[in-house]
Structure 1
Amino acid sequence: MAMTKRIKTRYSGVYQRTSEKRRHEGRPDVCYDITYKIGSRKVWEKVGWKSEGITAGFASQVKNDRLSEVRKGKAPTKTKHITLNKAFELYCKTHLAATKSERRIRSMYCSGVKPVLGHKMIAEISVRDMQQLATSLVGQKAPATIRHYVSIVRSVYNKLIEWGDYTGENPARAIKIPRVDNDRTRFLTRSEASMLLDELCCRSLDTFRIALISLHTGMRASEIFGLMGENVNLSEGFIYINDTKNALSRVAYMTDAVRKTFEDIEPQAGEIVFPARHGDFREEVPDTFERAVKELGLNDGLADTRDKVVFHTLRHTFASWLVSEGVPLKTIQELLGHSTIRMTERYAKLAPDKKEEAARLLNMLLK
């Protein structure tokens, strides 16, 4: 990038350069550098851009921190003076690159954390900032999703501390997530599910197949999108689910309709089962699903989001149908991949009332 020469600022050891291409607020962007000595060696360090919120005064504080570290015999660390976005990239490159969770965690960070805190220096993010982020999302996102956002930030800081790149406090260490009742109460009847699948089949074969698999196995959209050919065992009728929301692998069992779907697809090892248009992994449910729901009027007159049909309703319907048929909650917990039985207990109210039957049985035994 073409830059002008360094120019002294009114702060000792702080210089600025102007970009000939990069713009900020209609003017050429300004980059701030600092210089200091380690022994007899002169060191130059880029602090950051004005468009990133960096000022000459802040750069001076960074320089003073460097000199303090040098006087204490410590090697100056640059990491604490980077933005959370850059810290997250370092976290991904160093820690997540070898895991299957990188794509999911990147997606969550970009949707929930980056727009609010990504531009801030990691040393400037406070516990209050984190609490405000969590509180502002209540009612918009599920509590579990908010916890994931906070957990991502907490993990980034923990790794920086573990690597010796950051010595401050972790602002996400003790964030409290306000609890709200946002459990979905809506599930589809047999006729509604049949109508929805028929409508999807007319509109998009791919969306129909994805919806059918979710309805018949309880798989999340992200789990279906992450399926590779080797995860589908047609001979045994199993689907191996590895890249899950809670990182717990599990097995889904094929119904006849699901098996027929995969037989038509003919999954190949090393290939994505449901690739996006350009061949990579899908990130979102196709808009076709929402259009089909609207066409059928499944959400007409409903204001409460908990009552509306969304793609996740298919997973909820899968569990609700099983509970209503008397399948034990423990079995449903394992099929859904819930980390605790408490998450599955929301369906308990749909279970057949066995108390009266138990009382009759006891009465017969005591006669």
Structure 2
Amino acid sequence: MAQFKWFTTKHKGLRYREHETRKHGVRRDRFYQYRLMENGIRVQESFGWLSEGWTEEACLLEVAKLKQARRTGEGEITLKDRRKKALDKRTEQERKAITFGEVWEKNYLPQAKADRGEASTLREENLYALWIKPVLGDKPISEIVPLHLEKIKSNMRSEGKAQRTIQYALAVTRQVFNHAKRHSLFNGDNPVGKVKIPSEDNRRTRFLSHEEAALLLEEIKRRSVDVYQQCLLALHTGMRAGEIFSLTWECVDLKNEILLLKQTKSGKDRMAYMTPQVKEMLQSRNSADTEPGSLVFPGRNGVEIKQVSDTFNRAVNALGFNEGVTDPKAKVVFHTLRHTHASWLVMNGTDLYTVKELLGHSDFKMTARYAHLGENTLRSAVQGLGKAMEDEYSNVVNIEKIRRHDGSIR
């Protein structure tokens, strides 16, 4: 630790040391410090350099303020505390001045790109550029209120945007606020929580019959074996398109007929189970020189496929499945295969909890939509209970008859 030579001033307790090279005016720059025993306690305050404005008079004025604070118990009693309070105030002011756009560009977007897929991030960027930025971009994040978010909703509605798209835009906005809060860039309540989120029932209602599924698979197989095999996997396991496209051979256990699906939509890993048809299909794709980390369904140049091939839509159109259908929920799309898988499970008597686990639903409400498909199973269960109760009643009646016939039985 450097040893300084200190010089006294004519003021009790106030001293200074000189800078080795730097001058202030004609003299060397001075660093002032107050050091004195007060009521048996060593008090030491380091003020600063003369070149920074710390004259002897300024130092003495500060000493008087600190003594007053110690005497009255009001305010900061040390210069360190006072400086910390001033720093906190500046930091708070700077934080309040941070705009929503700055949080988006410098903090949220880089993190989103690191954590999520390219397609998801690109959609968020489009929503931000078109709808969020014009309203919130230049506003300090601390000054944004629910009224601003209502403006985003109003703008999107006036342009005929779907409720689901408005939901997504508000969800992105909520995530930016949450991100800012986690990183101490914002400390208020998330204003999105005070805005009514548009609701829309976008659950799919259309699922395929066994005959329709067979026709669709045959039509697709005629056009593309790869797309056919992807569809077969979706229909037989309930896997999402993204889960199929990201599946690697190291996650395929042909011996135990299990597929490990990593980091699914719910954020958790889950297992999918092979049917004999799926196992046979995967065996046909596998070879002795297959790398464990390679994709089961690689795209061009071996990279991961980002979207469903248009071959699927062409096959659906050729079969006329969507002819005259205007409701998007009733149209046959690739996701219909997953919906069909779940529907068939329930219609075959599989309980909803098992379906939930197989599909990887994070919320049971998502699975409950299939409950009506199991009405026949439920009806059969109640009828079975009724039959059991009827048999039990018959047994009781028979015992009572025996009792009446044989008085020895009491």
1:74 lines up with 2:94 in the alignment: no
Query: Residue 121 of structure 1: which of 125, 131, 138 is its match?
Result: 138
Query: Residue 197 of structure 1: which of 204, 214, 217 is its match?
Result: 217
> What is residue 342 of structure 1 aligned with on the other side?
365
- Larger Rg over CA atoms: 2
Q: How does 1:89-168 map to 2 (within 5 A)?
A: 90-94=107-111, 97=114, 99=115, 101-103=116-118, 105-110=120-125, 112-118=127-133, 120-121=137-138, 123=140, 126-131=145-150, 136=156, 140=162, 150-166=170-186
Structure 1: how far apart are the matches of 2:169 and 2:255?
39
The offset of 1:118, in angstroms, is: 4.4
The offset of 1:201, in angstroms, is: 1.0
> What is residue 83 of structure 1 aligned with on the other side?
101
The offset of 1:170, in angstroms, is: 3.2
Across the aligned residues of Structure 1 and Structure 2, the Cα RMSD in angstroms comes to 3.3
Encode CA deviations 1:303-324: one digit per residue, 9 max, x unaligned: 2222211111101100111111
Q: 1:302 to 1:263 in 2, by over 3 A?
A: same
User: Aligned partner of 2:393: which letter?
Assistant: L
> What is residue 383 of structure 2 aligned with on the other side?
356
CA contact (8 A) 2:247 2:296 kept: yes
Structure 1: how far apart are the matches of 2:305 and 2:96?
36
User: Aligned partner of 2:308: which letter?
Assistant: V
The offset of 1:262, in angstroms, is: 1.8
Larger RCO, structures 1/2 (Cα 8 Å, 6+ apart): 1
User: Aligned partner of 1:365: which letter?
Assistant: E
> What is residue 236 of structure 1 aligned with on the other side?
256
Structure 1: how far apart are the matches of 2:125 and 2:162?
16
> What is residue 339 of structure 2 aligned with on the other side?
316
Encode CA deviations 1:137-194: one digit per residue, 9 max, x unaligned: 898365xx86565444323222222222345653333443333333222110111101
Structure 2: how far apart are the matches of 1:279 and 1:121?
42
Query: Residue 253 of structure 1: which of 253, 273, 295 is its match?
Result: 273
Q: 1:214 to 1:295 in 2, by over 3 A?
A: same
User: Aligned partner of 2:291: which letter?
Assistant: Q
**What SS is found at the alignment partner of 1:317?**
helix
Structure 2: how far apart are the matches of 1:78 and 1:364?
75
Query: Residue 207 of structure 1: which of 227, 238, 247 is its match?
Result: 227
The offset of 1:350, in angstroms, is: 1.1
Structure 1: how far apart are the matches of 2:203 and 2:176?
29
Structure 2: how far apart are the matches of 1:264 and 1:139?
45
Structure 2: how far apart are the matches of 1:141 and 1:225?
28
Unaligned residue ranges in structure 1 (runs of 5+): 1-38, 41-68
CA contact (8 A) 1:157 1:170 kept: yes
The offset of 1:91, in angstroms, is: 2.7
Q: TM-score with structure 2 length normalisation?
A: 0.63
CA contact (8 A) 2:97 2:140 kept: no
1:287 lines up with 2:307 in the alignment: no
User: Aligned partner of 2:207: which letter?
Assistant: F
Structure 2: how far apart are the matches of 1:168 and 1:299?
48
User: Aligned partner of 1:340: which letter?
Assistant: D
The offset of 1:219, in angstroms, is: 0.9
Q: 1:178 to 1:361 in 2, by over 3 A?
A: farther
**What SS is found at the alignment partner of 1:248?**
coil
Structure with bigger helix share is 2
> What is residue 401 of structure 2 aligned with on the other side?
none
CA contact (8 A) 2:174 2:190 kept: yes
User: Aligned partner of 1:361: which letter?
Assistant: A
The offset of 1:264, in angstroms, is: 2.3
User: Aligned partner of 1:271: which letter?
Assistant: S
User: Aligned partner of 2:197: which letter?
Assistant: I
Unaligned residue ranges in structure 2 (runs of 5+): 1-50, 53-85, 395-410
CA contact (8 A) 1:201 1:207 kept: yes
Structure 2: how far apart are the matches of 1:122 and 1:276?
43
User: Aligned partner of 2:327: which letter?
Assistant: D
Q: How does 1:16-31 map to 2 (within 5 A)?
A: none
Query: In the comparison of the two structures, how many residue pairs are matched?
Result: 296
Please, which moves more after superposition, 74-83 or 216-225? 74-83
Q: 1:349 to 1:72 in 2, by over 3 A?
A: closer
Q: 1:87 to 1:179 in 2, by over 3 A?
A: closer
Q: 1:209 to 1:146 in 2, by over 3 A?
A: farther
The offset of 1:275, in angstroms, is: 2.9
